[in-house]
Amino acid sequence: MSVRSGTIDVDRARAETRGCESIVHLNHAGSSLMPIPVADALIGWQREEEFRGGYETADRHQGKLENFYDATARLLNCHRDEVAFIENATRAWDMAFYALDLGPGDRILTTESEYGSNMIAYLHRARRTGCEVAIVPNDVFGQIDVEALERMIDARVKLISISHVPTGGGLVNPAAAVGAVARRHGVPYLLDACQSVGQIPLDVQAIGCDFLSATGRKYLRGPRGTGFLYVRGDWIGRLDPPLLDQHAAELINEREYVMRADARRFENWECHFAGKAALGVAIDYALGWGLEEIRDRVQPLAQDLRDRLAAIDGVEVLDEGAEKCGIVTFRKAGEDPEAIKRRLKARGIHVSVSGDSGARVGYDRRGIATAVRASVHYISLEREIDDLAATIRG
């Protein structure tokens, strides 16, 4: 199968990625390779801090820090005041989830493929508050059954919360269809976009989510220790963040404080300033290629990998969903996924292993312990897919 590159200049993209010179990186769903402009922005900021000081560097480059908000607003089709910089996707998600008022008998609806950290948070609040967690069944494609979701909604449902792209498989949950249900019934909707941001176009107006969390290190190709939270404007004033500091709020006197009116009420004053500036560069870089163009490059590459793996004796491709993304999961009879990962690493091919608590609920229901996870991006090549398939076959 010949995979088209669309309008992506793959040669230029790889030339702007130093890591492509020495490794076959098929672990973009874990942590991608930073392009040169992003790495230079990160390292350059930290180098300046070394010689100038942290406060002084931040004062000198306020425009680069503010660019993060403008870039994220363009990425999501929202207002810059609806965006908060958070140190990672899980904490961003937590800041929205733990700000919601959930009490005894209130129900959270989620999916079989929900991320493990999110499931832990649901159960944590259920123990503390008496709220309940209900899992919406899958449809015939293995994604959330939107009709079943609608049937499960009643007066007790106070939140719909799903992962757009689960960590342990290639499916893309129908986020906009879920959003339409949430809007019809007036139920808050939290979308974990950790694995989808940067490889799939995200428009929060079209999706209809009230909150969205994401990371910088995966398909956006930004630094580790960076992420963001989107909160729809009419929800900001209704949420009391679980943590506050004097950046998120202003102390008026010894008895009073006032929270910020924008989404920065969910931020900390101290943060990864170099990472924040570099994440803005990473988002601008992705937008420069175009998210539709990235998707149209990534999805055929991933399908090519699935086809090649499925043709190998003993290999089972595990991805579900009517729409699939750049994540490819599989297992091979008679060989442990960790052993496969080590064998690939010895050939300079980077993948990861999914399972354990991260994809626990969905994997348990499907009888899967762990799986190899290979994740392609627009800088991936067909020959890299060949190398991986040949190593698995061997």
**Which residues are within 8 A (CB) of 118 and not within 5 positions of it... i.e. 6 or more apart?**
93, 97, 110, 161, 163, 192
Same domain, 104 and 211: yes
Asked whether residue 368 is assigned to any structural domain, the reply reads: yes
Asked whether residue 105 is assigned to any structural domain, the reply reads: yes
Name the 3-class secondary structure at 85: strand
Asked whether residue 18 is assigned to any structural domain, the reply reads: yes
Asked whether residue 209 is assigned to any structural domain, the reply reads: yes
Distances (CA, A) of 315 to 184, 328, 386: 43, 12, 15
**pLDDT score of 275 more than 90:** yes
In the chain, how many domains are there?
Answer: 2
Q: Strand order in 370-375's β-sheet?
A: 315-317, 327-332, 370-375, 352-355
- Domain of 382, CATH number, reads 3.90.1150.10
Name the 3-class secondary structure at 189: strand
Q: Residue 86's closest CA among 282, 230, 239, 192?
A: 230
**pLDDT score of 333 more than 60:** yes
Same domain, 296 and 228: no
The whole-number pLDDT of residue 2 equals 38
- Which tens digit of pLDDT belongs to each residue from 52-105? 999 999 999 999 999 999 999 999 999 999 999 999 999 999 999 999 999 999
Same domain, 284 and 372: no
Segment holding 134, helix H or strand E? strand 132-136
Asked whether residue 191 is assigned to any structural domain, the reply reads: yes
How far apart CA 230 and CA 89 sit, in angstroms, is 11
**Which residues are within 8 A (CB) of 15 and not within 5 positions of it... i.e. 6 or more apart?**
none
Rounded average pLDDT over 139-167: 98
User: Of 242, 271, 288, which marks where a domain is finished?
Assistant: 288
Asked whether residue 5 is assigned to any structural domain, the reply reads: no
Asked whether residue 2 is assigned to any structural domain, the reply reads: no
Between residues 5 and 281, the one the model is more confident about: 281
User: Of 288, 306, 339, which marks where a domain is finished?
Assistant: 288
Distances (CA, A) of 102 to 162, 188, 191, 240: 17, 12, 17, 12
For tokens 């999501």, the residue is 76
pLDDT band for 4, please (50, 70, 90 cuts): very low
For 319, left (φ over 0), alpha (ψ -120 to 50), or beta? beta
Rounded average pLDDT over 212-231: 98
Amino acid making up residue 91:
R
Rounded average pLDDT over 352-366: 89
How far apart CA 371 and CA 364 sit, in angstroms, is 12
Q: What is the pTM of this model?
A: 0.96
Same domain, 308 and 337: yes
| DSSP classification of residue 35 | P
Question: Is residue 320 within 8 Å of 142, Cβ to Cβ?
Answer: yes
- Please give the residue range of the domain that contains residue 313: 10-34+290-393
Asked whether residue 3 is assigned to any structural domain, the reply reads: no
